[in-house]
Structures are given as C-alpha cells and as structure tokens.
Structure 1
Amino acid sequence: MRTLLKGGGVVSGRGVRRADVLIDGEKIVQVGRGLSAAGENVVDVSGMLLFPGFIDAHTHFDLDVANTTTADDFTSGSRAAIRGGTTTVIDFACPNKGESLQYGLDLWHKKADGRAFCDYGFHMTIDDWNPSVEAELPAMFAQGISSFKMYLTYPAMMIGDGAIYSALKALRRLGGICGFHCENAGVIDAMIAEKKAAGELSPASHPQTRPPYLEAEAVSRLLRIAQAADSPVIIVHLTNRQALEEAESARKRGQKVYVETCPQYLVLDDSVYFNEDFSAAARYVCAPPIRAKEEQTYLWRGLKRGLIQTVSTDHCAFTLEQKEVGRGDFTKIPGGLPGVEARG
C-alpha cells in the first residue's frame, strides 16, 4: 500500500524543509514538493515535523544482571522504542565468562527473534579473552556482528589491559570496532570499602564512589592502549568534561575516537541521589553516575561542536521493587535507567 504524507516539514541532517513523502510498504520511495496524490492514501501532515526513524545504539533488554533480570524484554522494550520514534535498537549480546561468543549470540537471537516490534541488531560483549574467543571473531563478522564492547570496570566483565590490547588488534585486523565502559575499577572498589566502613550506605554514596575524574582516568588509559594497538574505539555513555577532554587529546594526536553520551547526563544532575526517600534516589542509580549540573554545559557544547557523535540511552530498566534490594547497601541497587521511549 502506498501512502503520501502531504505538507509536512521533513527533518534531515541539513535542517528542515517543506516536502511530501511517498511511502510504498515499508520504504520511502520519494521525497519532494508537490508529489502526485493519484491513487495514494493521502495523509495531511501540514504543520508537523517528519523525522526519520531514530536508532538507539545502546540498549539492554532481557539482561540477567545483579541477581535479577531487566524489566524490559525485547517485546516491551521495542514497543517503548516505537512509541518514542526509535525504529532500530542495537542491543548487547552478553555471554558470561567461560561461555562462547556464539552461545551469547544464539541466546540473544532467542530473546529477540519473533518478539520485537522494531528492527534490531546486536553488539557483542567480550568479557573473556583467550585463543578460543579470538578464533570465534571471524564467525561473528560472518553473522553480521562487527561492533563489540569491553569493560574497564565490573570484575565479572573485565579482561585486563593486556587482553584489551590484544583484542583491539584482532578486531582492527577484521575491520571491527569496540566500545568501552570506562571507570577505574580498583579505586572505585577502595572508595566503596571506605563508605561501607563508615556506615554510609545510602544512594548518596553512589556518585561519591564513582567520581568523574576516575572516569576520565579510565578514558585516558583506554585511549593509550588503543594508541598502542592502532585501533579506533568508542567511549560509551561519557558523562563529563574531563573525560571528553581526554578524547579530544587523543584525536589531536591522530587517533580515531567516537564518543557517545546519554539523555540522563544531558538533562539530570547528581542532586537526584541526595533525596532522603530511598526509592526516589535509588531509581537514578546507574554507572557512570549522573554528574553535577555544570557538566551538562560541556556535553551540550560537545554535541554542538561534533565532539560527541552519538546520543544513545543505555536503556537498562528495573522496577522500583527491583531497586529495593539495595535498601541498606547502595552497591546492591541494580544499576540502570529506562530511556528508549523518552529519548525522542
């Protein structure tokens, strides 16, 4: 069935222009002024803006983590995406240590295939590095997986600097790219131990144990490893000025670095954690944490200047009941926020 959208403002990377849009089935076949309406289903969209379908390149649906499972699976999560104007999500297939990449990919297909309402693809998490995992990489590329993710924090996910170096070289040879969660795990753990010893166990301790400069340190370290491996990288969910400056420094010395941030870092500030109501504060626990308000200025400026390339959501939703498990110990609060519907 062909549908003609008449009289709207078509939004593109070059701005907004008045144009009609002709759709045949699921494909846009023509965009222009004064398109013929003969035989078409005509919809008057005068005064409205017509956006292309958004892509959210960072979601976590149906993920087993923190002794629970995220509140959104591919059915509810993809329906939320569509409501917010996102027509494609890229989720993370996450095998556990000791499991093969193929096992992780097969598992995520079982979670998603036939259950999603929007288009979807997968990144692959590398949380183990050995000859067996390296040998699987060509098969991943053959199945359409060319983007990966590694962690500089979380013991269950980390593989160490030397393994990151080797993995980046292997991905570079195959033409792939990897995104990184950058925080300094060791110092964070030491700070958490101090808070626990002092009996400071509320959500307010969460941002205090994951300060912005420890994110910046990890970004710097990762980028030096990437420099040694001569590999492009993506910094996911970057939150602050110091971390962004590290990315800019790497670019100035010739490295290819892509940066992603998220809506929560652009519009919320760390005052959300200092609410005496546990539930009101715990719902915002995520990593890296939401930062001080002044950081927003630098992130918006980075977007305007093209220093930040992507705004994704890191959608990782939990119910308030799930967050309750951390009452009395902020480290047990499942970390993550929803966002796939609200970003648009």
Structure 2
Amino acid sequence: MKKIIKNGTIVTASDTFCADVCIENGMITLIGGNLHAVDAEIIDAKGCYIFPGGIDPHTHLDMPFGGTVTKDDFETGTKAAAFGGTTTVIDFCLTTKGKTLKSAIETWHKKSEQKAVIDYGFHLQIVEASEDALNELPTIIEEEGITSLKVFMAYKHHFQADDETLFRTLVAAKELGALVMVHAENGDVIDYLVKKALSEGKTDPIYHALTRPAEVEGEATGRAAVLTDLANSQLYVVHVSCAVAAKKIEEARSNGVDIWGETCPQYLVLDQSYLEKPDFEGAKYVWSPPLREKWNQEVLWNALKTGQLQTLGSDQCSFDFKGQKDLGKGDFSKIPNGGPIIEDRVSILYSEGVKKGRISLNQFVDIVSTRAAKLFGLYPKKGTIAVGADADIVIFDPEVERIISAETHHMAVDYNPFEGMKVTGEPVSVLSRGEFVIRDKQFVGKPGAGQYIKRAKYGETQQPAESKTLTI
C-alpha cells in the first residue's frame, strides 16, 4: 500500500523544506507539494520534522567480552535503536587468531538473522594480517559487501593488533576499496599502568580512567594517522573522547591525510567524575576510551561544528550493573567495558546540539545519518530523503520533552548512564523501507524484518532502486 507523509518539514544534510513524501514498495517514489493518491495511507506529520533514518556506525550486539556477553542482542538492541530514531546499524564482527575470517562472519550472521528489526551490516575485525587472512579479503568484500575493517590498538592480550598488522591492513584496504577503522589507544602503555595501579591497591572504577589517560589516545591516534599517510590509505577513528585526539585528526586532515573521526554522546555530555560515584556506581560508566575531564566536551562539540569530527556512533555495548559490571568489584580491570547508548544517541545530539545552538539542523542530519551512509557505502540508498532512496524515515517531534530513565528505555539492561537527563525532541514514528517499526511511540515491527545490507566500496555509491517517478 502506498503511504504519503504530509504536513511535515523535510530535513536533509543540505536542505530544509516543506513537502509531502510518497512511499511505495519500500522506497521513496515522489516528493512534492499537495500529493494525493486514492489508494494511499495518509500519515500526518504536522509540527514534526521528517528526517532520514539514523545510521549508527558503531554497535556491539551479542558480543562476548570479559567472560560475559553484552545484554542486548540483535533483537533488543535494534528495537531500542528504532525507538531512538535509528534505522540502520553496523555491528562489529570479531575474529579469532588462527581461524578464518569467513567463519567469524558466519557466526555474526547466525547472531543477527531473524532477530534484527531494522537493517544492519558488519564491520570486520582484523586481528592478524597473515597471508591467509589478507587473501580472504577480496572475496569477503565482493560477496559479503563488508567494506570496513577494524583494528584494535588497545586491549592487550585480547583484541590488540601490532603496528605491522595495522599497516598491512591499511595497504590492503587501499587496494581493495575498504575503510580501516581503529580503536586508538596505546594498549602496551595502558597494560603497564593498569598493573602498576593494581599493585598499589588502586582498584576502584575511577582508576579505569586514570590508567587510560588522554595522552595514550592522542599518541595512538597520531600514530595511526602517520601510518595511514605512509600507506596512502584511508582511516576512520572510532569513539574520539578527548581534545588531544581530536587535534591529531585535525592536524592530519590539514596535511591531506584521508582521515575521519567519530565521537559518541557519552563524551559530549558525561565526564570523568561519574566514575567516582560511591558504592561502585562508577562501574556503570566504565568503557574505553574512558570519560574525560569536562572541558573536553566543548572541544568535541566544536570539532563537530567545524567538521573535524564527522559522525556520532553509540558504541552500544551494554552490560547489567548487577551481575555483569560487578564482576570487577575489587579490580577495576575486570569490569566489562561498555554502556547502553543506542537508544538515546539521536535525541541527545538534537537536544544538546541543535536546541542549544551548537550545531545546525542540517549538520545534525549529516552527523547522525548522511555522513556515515557516505563513508560506509550506503549512500544514497540510505542516509537521505530523495526519490529512489529506501524509505527509512523518522517523524520527529522537536518540542516534546522527556526524562531519560532505565524505567522507560527499551534496552535490556538494568541502568541508563543518562538517568534523569532532560532532553527535548523525540521520534514519534519510524519507518524502515516504508514499513512502520515504531508508530506513535509504540513498537509495531517484528524480529527478522531487518535486512542484512551489502555495502559499496569506500568512495563508491550504493545505487538505489530505479524509480519511474520524478521529484516534483
């Protein structure tokens, strides 16, 4: 059945205008004024913005870590994402030394199939740059459409790769048309600082931050940028948390390096003092990189405004406070790293960014959707409102106020790191490929409706389906 969204204000990364949107067969077929069709369902968006669905380029769903597994899987995680205005997630597929990359991808397909309520794709971790692993990449990129490769520079003894692995991955990515992503922290230095702190009896959650100072993030970011330049390749730095790392990205970009930066809502509105909460409450805020001193926040906001940072990921990696985070009582290094962020990513950026004048409405759309679509081979099929694009649409009330709380969120965890925070602006209805997932703030989607998306190579476009109808 055709749908026509009427009376709303369409906002893309470049334009803001009043028009109706006609949807048919899962895609946008017409944009214009006063659209009518006898057989169409009319959706009234009066007083609301019409945004392209959010794209979260950084999630960890159903992921093993620290002897446990993230609480949100592909069903609960994507459901919460949809409530928050996100219609596509790209999750990290973790690999194991000595095993094929293909086997890891098969595992992640099993985790996600018949569970996701919105569309999804995978990034692929590279833990070793062996000849066997590198020889798998051309087939994986072509057949699976996985065109982004993740290298950890931290988590020694777990995920961390050496510089040779990073460099060889950068060289291969240049040849194959993939985007290399790095978790940029100096894992060797962190490992030393953690052991030293524990030997001195420093075990509380705050020491998670104090043993991962901003300097180790800045150093690793700068090192990754230099290696990218040397390989004449392309780099995306995930979860930038501090001024020194943002500065390294800015300097590299000014020198012509093809480097991009992502930050996360938690670094924009929370700070290091949260890890000092009593009664082990600080463990709720343990993730990596850690929260920083508050002054870093305005530096990150300014970097988003000026385009030196370009995207906002959630780094969704949720663990219950009771039963999971408390595995680290008496030893901060055993607290599972991560937080439940996926549901509030869009609202926090709108409320703290647009409403407070830090970024424009069009920048907001670019940061939560369009830029990620372009970087990760989804554009213009996703990431914009245009004829021929997937009808991934968010009807967003810009004036409604709500209080973030674990009592009302839709994630599977027992706490929310933004508990008690007032935000302005909330998705009312969310459509994925033309079908309601959220309607009038109620879930109406179904597990398995989300499709796995094969993505285009870096710098190429994802061709949308042809439409016989032209934009008015």
**TM-score normalized with structure 1 length:** 0.97
- SS of residue paired to 1:319: coil
The structure whose RCO (Cα within 8 Å, separation 6+) is larger is 2
For the 8 Å contact 2:272–2:293, the answer to whether it is kept is: yes
AA at the equivalent of 1:73 = D
**What is the 5 A alignment of 1:20-59?**
20-59=20-59
For the 8 Å contact 2:160–2:187, the answer to whether it is kept is: no
Mapped to 2, the partners of 1:281 and 1:112 lie a distance apart of 31
Mapped to 2, the partners of 1:228 and 1:93 lie a distance apart of 27
- SS of residue paired to 2:333: helix
Query: Which residue of the partner structure matches residue 138 of structure 1?
Result: 138
Q: Does residue 216 of the first structure (1) align with residue 223 of the second (2)? A: no
Query: Which residue of the partner structure matches residue 119 of structure 1?
Result: 119
Q: Does residue 229 of the first structure (1) align with residue 250 of the second (2)? A: no
Q: Does residue 299 of the first structure (1) align with residue 324 of the second (2)? A: no
Provide Cα deviations, 1:125-179, integer angstroms capped at 9, x if missing partner.
0012211111111111112111110011112222211221122111111111110
Query: Which residue of the partner structure matches residue 65 of structure 2?
Result: 65
For the 8 Å contact 1:128–1:157, the answer to whether it is kept is: no
Query: Which residue of the partner structure matches residue 450 of structure 2?
Result: none
AA at the equivalent of 1:27 = M
AA at the equivalent of 2:194 = I
Identity %: 40
Mapped to 2, the partners of 1:288 and 1:222 lie a distance apart of 16
Structure 2 unpaired stretches of 5+: 347-472
Q: CA deviation at 1:188?
A: 1.1
Query: Which residue of the partner structure matches residue 337 of structure 1?
Result: 339
Indicate the structure with greater helix content. 1
Q: CA deviation at 1:309?
A: 1.0
Mapped to 2, the partners of 1:43 and 1:187 lie a distance apart of 55
Mapped to 1, the partners of 2:285 and 2:74 lie a distance apart of 22
- SS of residue paired to 1:302: helix
Mapped to 1, the partners of 2:165 and 2:9 lie a distance apart of 49
Mapped to 2, the partners of 1:71 and 1:44 lie a distance apart of 36
Query: Which residue of the partner structure matches residue 164 of structure 2?
Result: 162
Q: CA deviation at 1:15?
A: 4.3
- SS of residue paired to 2:136: helix
Mapped to 2, the partners of 1:319 and 1:250 lie a distance apart of 38
AA at the equivalent of 2:40 = E
AA at the equivalent of 2:324 = Q
Mapped to 1, the partners of 2:235 and 2:340 lie a distance apart of 25
Q: CA deviation at 1:263?
A: 0.6
Query: Which residue of the partner structure matches residue 173 of structure 1?
Result: 175
Query: Which residue of the partner structure matches residue 12 of structure 2?
Result: 12
Query: Which residue of the partner structure matches residue 128 of structure 2?
Result: 128
Structure 1 unpaired stretches of 5+: none
Q: CA deviation at 1:37?
A: 4.4
For the 8 Å contact 1:269–1:291, the answer to whether it is kept is: yes
AA at the equivalent of 1:93 = C
Q: CA deviation at 1:38?
A: 3.1
Query: Which residue of the partner structure matches residue 374 of structure 2?
Result: none
Mapped to 1, the partners of 2:222 and 2:171 lie a distance apart of 18
User: Between Structure 1 and Structure 2, how many residues are aligned?
Assistant: 343
AA at the equivalent of 2:252 = A
For the 8 Å contact 1:97–1:157, the answer to whether it is kept is: no
Mapped to 1, the partners of 2:224 and 2:41 lie a distance apart of 53
AA at the equivalent of 2:255 = R
For the 8 Å contact 2:127–2:165, the answer to whether it is kept is: no
AA at the equivalent of 2:245 = A
- SS of residue paired to 1:247: helix
Mapped to 2, the partners of 1:69 and 1:46 lie a distance apart of 42
Runs of 4+ residues over 3 Å off in structure 1: none
Mapped to 2, the partners of 1:43 and 1:249 lie a distance apart of 47
Provide Cα deviations, 1:280-330, integer angstroms capped at 9, x if missing partner.
210110000011111110111011111111101110011112101001100
- SS of residue paired to 1:189: helix
Q: CA deviation at 1:6?
A: 1.2
Q: Which has the larger displacement, 101-110 or 10-19?
A: 10-19
- SS of residue paired to 2:345: coil
Provide Cα deviations, 1:82-140, integer angstroms capped at 9, x if missing partner.
11111100001111222211011111011111211000000100012211111111111
Q: CA deviation at 1:204?
A: 1.0
AA at the equivalent of 1:82 = A
Query: Which residue of the partner structure matches residue 282 of structure 2?
Result: 281
